C-alpha cells in the first residue's frame, strides 16, 4: 500500500471492468482486493469490441493493457486483400426484400476501425498483470454493511466477510452492490427484466461462414438489417473464425423473413449456439452513496441490458480510467477524500453512461427498421448512422478525467472550508 494512501479498496466482480480498474489502481499504488463470485475467472459472451475512446483510455490506465489488447485483436487487415477496410467499423447490408444483399452503408471508425477479440483472451491478459493473491475467488457477495468507523464490511454467501474503506461494485447487471447504493425504494424496483429480445450467438469457422454467404460478408464486419430483427458478424482470432449474433425472439421462426443471407447463416449455426435474453434495467439515479460506488454493467448495463451499440466494455473501461485517476490523485489520501472522488466520478460518468444506454435502445430500433420517423428509409438510416456514434467515439478521455478531477477538487475545497468555517 502506498504510504500516502490511508484507505483500502474492495472491488466486487472480476470481469473485464473490475480487473481493468484493479490493474489501474495497483499501478498507482492503491491498496485493492478483488472479490469474484465464480470459482474461476471467466467471461460470458464470445467476442468483444471497443471503440476509439476506450482504446485511447487503455494506455492511460496502464500501457501494458493496451499492449496486450493490440497483440490480441483482429482487424480487417488480418485478411489478405482486405487491408483497405482497416478503418471500417461495419458494413450495413439489407437482409431481405428487393434490396437483399445490397450494401446500405460502409461506416468508418478512424483511426481504429473494427477491432475484435475473445473476451476470455483479454481477461487472461488482465489477470497476468495482477499479483496472484489479489483476486479472491468463490466470494459471492450477499450484502454490504457500513461499520461504526465509516468503513464497510462485505458479507459473502460462504459465511466469510471482508472489510474495506471503499467498495466498488463491478458485479454486473444483477449487482448486489447496487442495492447498497440506490435509495431503498429505487433499489426495490431497479431489477433486470426481459426486454422482449433474445440474442443467439455462436462462433463459426471462417471457411464455413464463407461457404454460407461469401467471403466479403465475413472478412468484413457486417450488420444485416431487417424488419423486427437484425444479425451481425465479425472476424475474430486473426480472421480464422467468425463471431455471429442474431437478435430477435426466436431464431428459426423470427428470422424466416430475413432473406437468403441470414438464413444461410442459420443453417450453419450449431445446436449448441448460446441463447441470451436481452435484459432491461431502469436508469439509476446515482452511482455512489457514501463510500460505495458501482461501475460498468452494475451502473448502466450498456452491454448486458442494451448491447446494440457494442459499447458496454468501452463504457466500463472509461469508468475504470476515471476512478483509477481520481482515487490515486495526490489530493486523495483519506477515506473521506476518497468519498469525494466517488462523487466526482458519478457526476461526470453517469450522464454519459445513461446516454449510451438510451441511444443503444434507439439503435436497436434502427437496426430492426422500426424507429419512428425513420423506418426503412435508406437516406434517413444513412444520416442516422453517419452521425450517431461520433459522441461515443470522439470524446477527449483525458479531458473527461480532468473534468472529474476539477469536480473532486471543488468538493474537497468546500469540505475544507466547511471544517474551517470559511465563507
As annotated, the active-site residues are 201
- For 279, the 3-state DSSP assignment is strand
The pairing of beta strand 222-226 with beta strand 88-94: parallel
Residues 6+ apart with CB under 8 A from 328: 24, 25, 28, 29, 30
DSSP of 158-176, one letter per residue? TS-EEEESEEEE---TT-S
Burial of 115 (0-12, 13-18, 19+ CB in 10 A): buried
Taking a C-beta distance cutoff of 8 angstroms, is the pair 56, 68 a contact?
no
**CA neighbor of 53 nearest in space, from 414, 330, 400, 286:** 400
Q: Find the angle CA(294)-CA(297)-CA(299) to the nearest 5 degrees.
A: 35
17/26 Cα distance (integer angstroms): 14
ω into 167 cis (within 30 of 0): no
* Gap between the Cα atoms of 17 and 10, Å rounded: 14
Give me the residue label for grid cell 426484400: 97
End-to-end Cα separation, the chain, in angstroms: 36
- Residue 40 is classified by DSSP as S
Amino acid at each position: 500500500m502506498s504510504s500516502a494512501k490511508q484507505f483500502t479498496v474492495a472491488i466486487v466482480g472480476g470481469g473485464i471492468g473490475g480487473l481493468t480498474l484493479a490493474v489501474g489502481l495497483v499501478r498507482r499504488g492503491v491498496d485493492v482486493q478483488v472479490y469474484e463470485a465464480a470459482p474461476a475467472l471467466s467471461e460470458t459472451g464470445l467476442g468483444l469490441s471497443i471503440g476509439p475512446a476506450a482504446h485511447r483510455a487503455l494506455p492511460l490506465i496502464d500501457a501494458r493493457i493496451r499492449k496486450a489488447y493490440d497483440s490480441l485483436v483482429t482487424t480487417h487487415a488480418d485478411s489478405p486483400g482486405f487491408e483497405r477496410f482497416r478503418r471500417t467499423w461495419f458494413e450495413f447490408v439489407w437482409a431481405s426484400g428487393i434490396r437483399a444483399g445490397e450494401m446500405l452503408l460502409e461506416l468508418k471508425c478512424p483511426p481504429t476501425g473494427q477491432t475484435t477479440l475473445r473476451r476470455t483472451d483479454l481477461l487472461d491478459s488482465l489477470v497476468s498483470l495482477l499479483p496472484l493473491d489479489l483476486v479472491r475467488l468463490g466470494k459471492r457477495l450477499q450484502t454490504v454493511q457500513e461499520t461504526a468507523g465509516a468503513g464497510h464490511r462485505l458479507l459473502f454467501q460462504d459465511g466469510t466477510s471482508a472489510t474495506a474503506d471503499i467498495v466498488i461494485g463491478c458485479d454486473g447487471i444483477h449487482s448486489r452492490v447496487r442495492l447498497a447504493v440506490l435509495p431503498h425504494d429505487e433499489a426495490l424496483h431497479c431489477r433486470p427484466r426481459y426486454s422482449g429480445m433474445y440474442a443467439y450467438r455462436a462462433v463459426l469457422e471462417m471457411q464455413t461462414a464463407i461457404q454460407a454467404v461469401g467471403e466479403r460478408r465475413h472478412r468484413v464486419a457486417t450488420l444485416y438489417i431487417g424488419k423486427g430483427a437484425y444479425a451481425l458478424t465479425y472476424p475474430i482470432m486473426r480472421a480464422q473464425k467468425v463471431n455471429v449474433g442474431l437478435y430477435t425472439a426466436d431464431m428459426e421462426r423470427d428470422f424466416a423473413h430475413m432473406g437468403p443471407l441470414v438464413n444461410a447463416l442459420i443453417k450453419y449455426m450449431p445446436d449448441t449456439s448460446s441463447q441470451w435474453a436481452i435484459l432491461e434495467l431502469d436508469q439509476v439515479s446515482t452511482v455512489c452513496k457514501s463510500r460505495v460506488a458501482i461501475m460498468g454493467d452494475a451502473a448502466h448495463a450498456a452491454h448486458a441490458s442494451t448491447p446494440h451499440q457494442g459499447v458496454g466494455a468501452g463504457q466500463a473501461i472509461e469508468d475504470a480510467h476515471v476512478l483509477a485517476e481520481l482515487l490515486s490523485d495526490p489530493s486523495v489520501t483519506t477515506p473521506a477524500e476518497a468519498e469525494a472522488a466517488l462523487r466526482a466520478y458519478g457526476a461526470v460518468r453517469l450522464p454519459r453512461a445513461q446516454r449510451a444506454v438510451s441511444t443503444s435502445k434507439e439503435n436497436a430500433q434502427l437496426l430492426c427498421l422500426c424507429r419512428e420517423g425513420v423506418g426503412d428509409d435508406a437516406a434517413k438510416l444513412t444520416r442516422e448512422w453517419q452521425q450517431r456514434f461520433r459522441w461515443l467515439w470522439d470524446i477527449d478521455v483525458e479531458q473527461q478525467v480532468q473534468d472529474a478531477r476539477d469536480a473532486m477538487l471543488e468538493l474537497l475545497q468546500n469540505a475544507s472550508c466547511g471544517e474551517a468555517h470559511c465563507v
